[in-house]
Structure 1
Amino acid sequence: MKFITFVHKGKEQIGVLSLDESKVLKISKILGHERYEDMNQFIEEATELDLDIIAQVRINEKDLGTPVEEIRYLAPIVKPKHDIICVGVNYESHLKESTLALQADLSSQKSPVYFSKRTTRILGHEEAVKGFFEIDEELDYEVEVAVIIGKRGINIPKDQVEDYIFGYSIFNDVSSRTLQKGHLQWYKGKSLDTHSVLGPVILHRSALPLPLKLKVESRVNGEVRQSSSTELFLHDIATIVSDFSRGITLEPGDIIATGTPSGVGMGFDPPRFMKKGDVVECEVEKIGILKSSIVE
């Protein structure tokens, strides 16, 4: 099941895509109540019975729903409860290009590298990313698989991680490289407004058993820049979630971005950063395509 947050007739709602993905079915209409105000609440409070009902309606009520052409996508989680948890250099190829571009020796790091990304509002599919070129001209893209936590947990064993996941989405970790290189920590360079893009859907975990084996790709103006597979993770999702949760509580709706492969703009010689008017597409097999345009 692919869950979305969307706007229809001026109202923000949550829904699920039909089997052919041509329509969106409103969760409130399927369940007969409006108890779930947003995706955060739905992830935290929805019961297995709720999910079963939604799944059955998608199969049996093929004529229900609103055509996707009539809606506007938002990020599945518009306002996260906490900053986004990010995993750095989680592909060998990106580790090598980052070592050169950032002039930092990252090769000796054996444990997952974590940083956070301040986000007051996450952008969704086809929303415009503000470049802030007056602050930093080195605007970069990073396609990543995002893990959406489904229930509260701490010290989660690796063999139980799947039980704590609600689903998966696509994340574009838009990055301001001059700021990133100019500060000892990456937080500032990763956290400018509009520089977190998520969507277009959250694919429920039942469709993607661990370990993930998904093709990951990004394109700028139709040109392929990144192309890899989650099979090349240095640290797989079970390891990441289990390791991060040691002594730290994860909560429903928490977002973990699992790292990007090589091919980011700073990795080219000369670098190929984004500029006004560019269109970037982030694609993850089975989840979909997340599209953004760059504005000043």
Structure 2
Amino acid sequence: MAPLARTGNLEWLRAASRYHSTVQPHLSLSYHQMVSFYHPRYRSLVPSRSGKLMQEHFLWEHVSDDDVGTFLDELDSVIRADLPGTSFDWQAAAMDIVTFWADRIAQIQNLLEAVNSTSNLTHIVTTVQQLSYSPLDPFIAYGEALNASGHEIVFNVRSSPMIVRGTITPNTTALERCTYSATEFLTEPELQILMTNSEHILKTSMETILERICNDFGILFAESTDLTDSVSYPTYISAWNSRINSLMKWLEWSSWLRCEEVCDLDSVCSMPVWPIAWSGGPFGRPGRDSDLNLLQPTCRRLTI
């Protein structure tokens, strides 16, 4: 290939590294019409995904003919109905959740991974308490139960009902308020009428994600607050590390995929992407003959 023609490949790589996890800003996707094979109704795909990373999820080898037919019917129904939906920006809401939580989760993980025999365990426990408390702080009902334990503050103490726009708010726990922090307003009757089936799935997905995160942070805060026996510090710190690593593996957010080094100006930080990763390279077919640990972003030079 002529040198000037090869520049096209470099520009393709530059664009792929820039928009790998977000759509281009001038595009607006119709999330209220979204259809997905991750919908729980497609039962034939569940066993093939259980316990596996997303890069190991192969649709074509496991989906049943019945599920393909159901999917096509759903797609046809969505296109024909063309419902307006709520006009809620689902992408922005999802990215807001990631932006709020990703660095906090990674910070705790980095702290716990670095613990060794010379670490000040009292400082580690105090830091975990502070880092887990900060994102939960907006949801804690102060003054509702004086001298409550850390566990009670998050999981048991309920807020007093209030009248908001003529409606009495439920007396919820901090965990519940955290879980529904991104979607609670969608319970308004006028919005419920407008919500499409796709939006109900998106709402449930966000609440499922936040329930897991809020619960894990609640446990870290409760245990680090209520822990008084310093002899138990190593056991709890090890359990917290396992909990956070399990959470990160479950979420698999792309925001944690980053180059360890700062890339030079003639380079971009890029994931191994098709067809570069699996054509004449060391990666093989993901989930089959490849080392999945190799599928990490690296600095790639944009030179001929």
TM > 0.5 fold call: no
Structure number having the greater helix percentage: 2
- TM-score, with normalisation over the residues of structure 1? 0.26
Q: Which is greater in Rg?
A: 2
Structure number having the greater strand percentage: 1
